Structure 1
Amino acid sequence: MSLRTMELIFTVFITILYVLTPGASGATNLFNVMDYGAVGDGKTDDSAAFSKAWKATCNSPSRNPILVIPASKIFLLKPVTFSGPCKSTSIHVLMSGNIVAPDSKSAWKGYHLDMWLAFTNVNGLTIIGSGTINGRGAIWWSECSSYRVPQGGTCKGPTALTFYRCNGLVLKGTKHINSQRNHIAIFNCKDVTFSNLHISAPKTSPNTDGVDIASSSNVRILNSFIGTGDDCIAISSGSSHINITGIACGPGHGISVGSLGAHGGNDTVEEVHVRNCTFNETMTGVRIKTWQGGVGYARKILFEKIKFIRADNPIIIDQYYCPGGHCKNEVGQLKSKSLTSICIFMVADNWFLNLLMVDIGH
């Protein structure tokens, strides 16, 4: 089913919601950003209009309020946080139009540098549509291109789209390009489903992860294309029950568990299932990364029915992760009898099944 077809179905769906569930006292279900002052010419700052439209949506007494971002428009947004909790436990965003970031770093003056667009404390959020979120990341990458990453550090720049404490989250059909740093971050969320996404940035763009997952559970990422300059998907500490299926990854650094244990941290990841994925011209395929000196475990991880095409390093389990190459040997407190030397992370009960490799290490 094409994205346009899905969007048409969703449009019919929200029309039915609008007709059948007007909410308390006849309140409207639809909140179009154009009705709150948005211009949509790609030049005018529409941040205030989006904030007003979101506030009206979030505070609506309707059971199914819908924020509408209309097609054939380009909305320029400075850093914006869409905060909850909302009155309804079923919030919908119909994203047919496109969103672009400012073309100058000065737009972040007075804002947190870590985020551009963020949803926080919004349960029952569904975002669907064929619209594009364009981070215009090149102005951030230039400073990072020759940057030597310190231990546990990253290049500076905002995450393009952040979800924090958003349970019951759905993101479907959207396109994400050229993020300033990572494209999408899921933090402290439960019951998340992403599907039919298209995420892309040049292979030379630094730290432009596709999807980062941290401290989250019951996350599904399905049937999507991700090609960036870093990890297609990265699974960080505190995450469990992660299902990744039908991902076309490349270029990039593959699907990673970690890195875990930086700065002596106690990090854990478990119950990860990666299935029916293809890695095409990636630097790495599937990997588990742990730092020296940390403690914790990465366990019950399954990579199944994986295809590698011209991948430089299809499988890596690195328990001495040190991207800067300057780390001294450290001994941690947790040892596993199944490992040798001074590895202190337990990497166990992990499986690689039905792997196909084509023209590897070209």
Structure 2
Amino acid sequence: MEGTLKAPTNPGDLGGDCWVRFRDVDGLKVSGGGTFDGQGEVAWKQNNCAKTANCKALPMNIRFDFVTNAMIQDITSLDSKNFHINVMGCKNITFKHVTITAPEDSANTDGIHMGRCNGVNIIDTNIGTGDDCISIGDGSQQVTISGVTCGPGHGISVGSLGKYKNEEPVVGIFVKSCQITGTSNGVRIKSWPGMYAGTASDIHFEDITMKNVSNPVLIDQTYCPWGQCNEKATSNVKLSEISFKRIKGTSATALAVKLACSRTLPCEKVELGDIDLTYSGNEGPAKSECTNIKPIVSGKLNPPGYLPGVFNVKKYGAKSDGSSDISQALLSAWKEACAATGSTIVFIQKGDYALRQVDLVGPCKGDITFKLEGTLKAPTNPGDLGGDCWVRFRDVDGLKVSGGGTFDGQGEVAWKQNNCAKTANCKALPMNIRFDFVTNAMIQDITSLDSKNFHINVMGCKNITFKHVTITAPEDSANTDGIHMGRCNGVNIIDTNIGTGDDCISIGDGSQQVTISGVTCGPGHGISVGSLGKYKNEEPVVGIFVKSCQITSTSNGVRIKSWPGMYAGTASDIHFEDITMKNVSNPVLIDQTYCPWGQCNEKATSNVKLSEISFKRIKGTSATALAVKLACSRTLPCEKVELGDIDLTYSGNEGPAKSECTNVKPIVSGKLNPPGC
């Protein structure tokens, strides 16, 4: 069809429920670029279905009944009196490059409605009507909707379901890569309350862009238009295996995500993943609301809301005024999240929050995410914090800490009280964060600022990763190590930026299988293994890999340090590779005479045995003439130490760069600048 077919304007001139019907055809193709013009304007004024449930249905533009192996392509359906296209009992039918148009106020002009079909594909199609762009009725199976633009209208809907007796299951609905604009709903599933039984499962909405859409993500099992049912009843339609993923854009309503499921048949296996919907109206930020459902949450979730699975501290009384302590609210949210089954999120949205000391303790029943978008502020007076840290995560498996927020230790007052440089018996100040006996964890996209002591302490953990973490404190803030670890196995520190007043990273006894990659360090004291040998019964350090890092303006570069005249220990299989130094003092250093502030016998020898160590492909500039110093124990000389492709320059007034080695015979390969050793 290349021309335009025009229907009678008076619906009474059309017999039956449609204008053009294709029935019992196999191998049908409808194409040509032409238009089916339903001329529905007169009929829309006669539509009284909003007033009575027994209204007379007006004729549809086109019906496809029991059609198989069909292609409907490059046609337009215009101004239908009722549904534009109805697809019933069809198999393997595709709609491609179809245009469907009717005014926004034309009632019941659904774009494409289907029922009891198998294998329907709607591809690269443009629909704007006065009702659902696409509605998927009972018995629909294996439906794919892709590349559809929808709007105006009521969005893309599964249902309504449960209105009639003996409805067939809906299974296998895939809606993806669509754009919805200016509609009264986005993607939704709807069923009638107090009516008939049914099921709908394996339904997936993915990669959808919303523009000024009301109710962008919606499950509505209380669907009752025009008061035609008992709204207080419960739906008898069971919904399961449903996902909403990668849905982004703008909501025209503050309630952007609403999942209202049946009381007697709660929704099951529903997943929300990477939702990013914003609302800019006067009703506050975008919200979520869930009833009779515990969705599985993954990736970004905006709005967060008070979903089962998301425990917003504001629900528990937290205020983002920067002065009201939220510790009790946070502990309450954590306790409930930890006790809930499935994946949960403790959520702190943007804003400033005062927080005293908290212990966030497991074990939890499922994976748990601590999602911090705001800024937590510690008391400035360290005496107001009990214990050795401010925020502690302990005995948690499957922990994730993320959100882009900040732990602000407000350490300036405390640093002035730090007297550890004068006495070995000084009182330790509180750290920002401790991870104690945490397993299978991801710490990502957070900032630790101005801790009173160590920023992050990792103790007894297994399989924990730090990625895109920022740690910042002034260069003169004592003991503010970035990340310190001990007795851990499987620590990864990746693409992280650290600048503090002490070691960027310090690796204590018992650390095994540690990988540090893509770290920028400075100011501070560099990246260190140790100090070791200070305490009795220290455990071996084994398998440390530091690679592809940049160190700038630090007092040390990469180093291994142990105390002289103290306790025994071992450290082996340690490798520093592909490191760039910029104006770094002591770029390459083994220091087994480490004795800060005169707290030991510097003339004694270290009892820590070092072996299987390599420094390879280390280049850049040294701030000290002594660029490579390997000072090993007299009684336990270092073994199997390799220097390979070292290129460090010094431009100060103490002559060219130098190397110095004691109690070690390094294996040398490739370039070695400075030479020495």
TM-score, length of structure 2 as denominator length = 0.47
Q: How many aligned residue pairs are there? A: 343
Deviation of 1:321 after TM superposition, in Å, equals: 1.1
Work out which of the residue numbers 167, 179, 183 in structure 1 matches 2:455. 183
Distance, in Å, in 2 between the alignment partners of 1:193 and 1:335 is 28
Distance, in Å, in 2 between the alignment partners of 1:248 and 1:22 is 38
Q: Is 1:226–2:498 an aligned residue pair?
A: yes
Q: Which moved more, 1:229-238 or 1:94-103?
A: 94-103
Work out which of the residue numbers 6, 21, 32 in structure 1 matches 2:312. 32
Instruction: Tell me which of the two structures has the higher relative contact order, counting C-alpha pairs closer than 8 angstroms and 6 or more residues apart.
Output: 1
Work out which of the residue numbers 380, 392, 397 in structure 2 matches 1:118. 392
Work out which of the residue numbers 300, 313, 322 in structure 1 matches 2:586. 313
Q: 1:345 and 1:155, CA in 2 relative to 1: closer, same or farther beyond 3 A?
A: farther
Q: Give the root-mean-square deviation of aligned CA atoms.
A: 3.0
1:95–1:130 contact (8 Å) kept in structure 2: yes
Deviation of 1:146 after TM superposition, in Å, equals: 7.8
Deviation of 1:87 after TM superposition, in Å, equals: 1.1
Matched with 1:66 is: 345
Distance, in Å, in 1 between the alignment partners of 2:326 and 2:508 is 34
Work out which of the residue numbers 368, 389, 395 in structure 2 matches 1:91. 368
Deviation of 1:295 after TM superposition, in Å, equals: 1.2
Matched with 2:50 is: none
Deviation of 1:14 after TM superposition, in Å, equals: 6.1
Matched with 1:4 is: none
Q: What secondary structure, in the 3-state scheme, does the structure 1 residue paired with 2:530 have?
A: strand
Which AA in structure 1 matches 2:407? Answer: I
Q: 1:46 and 1:342, CA in 2 relative to 1: closer, same or farther beyond 3 A?
A: closer
Deviation of 1:183 after TM superposition, in Å, equals: 0.4
Matched with 2:229 is: none
Q: 1:275 and 1:132, CA in 2 relative to 1: closer, same or farther beyond 3 A?
A: same
Work out which of the residue numbers 497, 515, 528 in structure 2 matches 1:243. 515
Q: 1:264 and 1:67, CA in 2 relative to 1: closer, same or farther beyond 3 A?
A: closer
Which AA in structure 2 matches 1:65? Answer: T
Matched with 2:438 is: 166
Q: Is 1:131–2:405 an aligned residue pair?
A: yes
1:309–1:357 contact (8 Å) kept in structure 2: no
Matched with 2:467 is: 195
Q: Is 1:53–2:339 an aligned residue pair?
A: no
Which AA in structure 1 matches 2:418? Answer: C
Deviation of 1:145 after TM superposition, in Å, equals: 6.3
Matched with 1:43 is: 323
Deviation of 1:348 after TM superposition, in Å, equals: 3.9
Deviation of 1:279 after TM superposition, in Å, equals: 0.7
Matched with 1:3 is: none
Of Structure 1 and Structure 2, the greater helix share is in 1
Matched with 1:147 is: 421
Distance, in Å, in 2 between the alignment partners of 1:119 and 1:84 is 8
1:188–1:214 contact (8 Å) kept in structure 2: yes
Distance, in Å, in 1 between the alignment partners of 2:631 and 2:580 is 30
Q: 1:219 and 1:155, CA in 2 relative to 1: closer, same or farther beyond 3 A?
A: same
2:517–2:547 contact (8 Å) kept in structure 1: yes
Matched with 1:298 is: 571
Q: 1:14 and 1:324, CA in 2 relative to 1: closer, same or farther beyond 3 A?
A: same
TM-score, length of structure 1 as denominator length = 0.86
Deviation of 1:325 after TM superposition, in Å, equals: 2.6
Distance, in Å, in 2 between the alignment partners of 1:336 and 1:208 is 26
Distance, in Å, in 1 between the alignment partners of 2:324 and 2:348 is 15
Distance, in Å, in 2 between the alignment partners of 1:172 and 1:346 is 40
Deviation of 1:92 after TM superposition, in Å, equals: 1.2
Q: 1:323 and 1:177, CA in 2 relative to 1: closer, same or farther beyond 3 A?
A: same
Work out which of the residue numbers 461, 484, 488 in structure 2 matches 1:216. 488
Which AA in structure 2 matches 1:179? Answer: S
Distance, in Å, in 2 between the alignment partners of 1:184 and 1:70 is 22
Matched with 1:284 is: 556
Q: What secondary structure, in the 3-state scheme, does the structure 2 residue paired with 1:119 have?
A: strand
Which AA in structure 1 matches 2:370? Answer: V
Of Structure 1 and Structure 2, the greater strand share is in 2
Unaligned runs of 5+ in 2: 1-244, 249-271, 277-288, 297-306, 613-629, 654-677
Distance, in Å, in 2 between the alignment partners of 1:335 and 1:302 is 16
Deviation of 1:331 after TM superposition, in Å, equals: 5.5
**Deviations along 1:162-220, whole A, 9 cap, x unmatched?**
00010001100111110010100110000011001111100000000000010001110
Name the % identity. 33
Deviation of 1:296 after TM superposition, in Å, equals: 1.6
Deviation of 1:316 after TM superposition, in Å, equals: 1.2
Deviation of 1:357 after TM superposition, in Å, equals: 3.5
Distance, in Å, in 2 between the alignment partners of 1:154 and 1:276 is 37
Q: Is 1:82–2:366 an aligned residue pair?
A: no
Deviation of 1:75 after TM superposition, in Å, equals: 1.1
Q: What secondary structure, in the 3-state scheme, does the structure 2 residue paired with 1:141 have?
A: helix
Q: Which moved more, 1:251-260 or 1:336-345?
A: 336-345
**Deviations along 1:81-101, whole A, 9 cap, x unmatched?**
00111111x111221111010
Matched with 1:5 is: none
Q: What secondary structure, in the 3-state scheme, does the structure 1 residue paired with 2:438 have?
A: coil
Q: Is 1:13–2:292 an aligned residue pair?
A: no
Distance, in Å, in 2 between the alignment partners of 1:314 and 1:10 is 48
**Deviations along 1:73-116, whole A, 9 cap, x unmatched?**
1111101000111111x1112211110101223322xx21x111
1:335–1:344 contact (8 Å) kept in structure 2: no
Deviation of 1:332 after TM superposition, in Å, equals: 6.8
Q: What secondary structure, in the 3-state scheme, does the structure 1 residue paired with 2:543 have?
A: strand
1:121–1:164 contact (8 Å) kept in structure 2: yes
Distance, in Å, in 1 between the alignment partners of 2:651 and 2:441 is 37
2:462–2:490 contact (8 Å) kept in structure 1: yes
Matched with 2:69 is: none
Deviation of 1:154 after TM superposition, in Å, equals: 6.4
Which AA in structure 2 matches 1:39? Answer: K
Q: What secondary structure, in the 3-state scheme, does the structure 2 residue paired with 1:253 have?
A: coil
**Deviations along 1:201-256, whole A, 9 cap, x unmatched?**
00000000000010001110000110000000000000010000001100000000
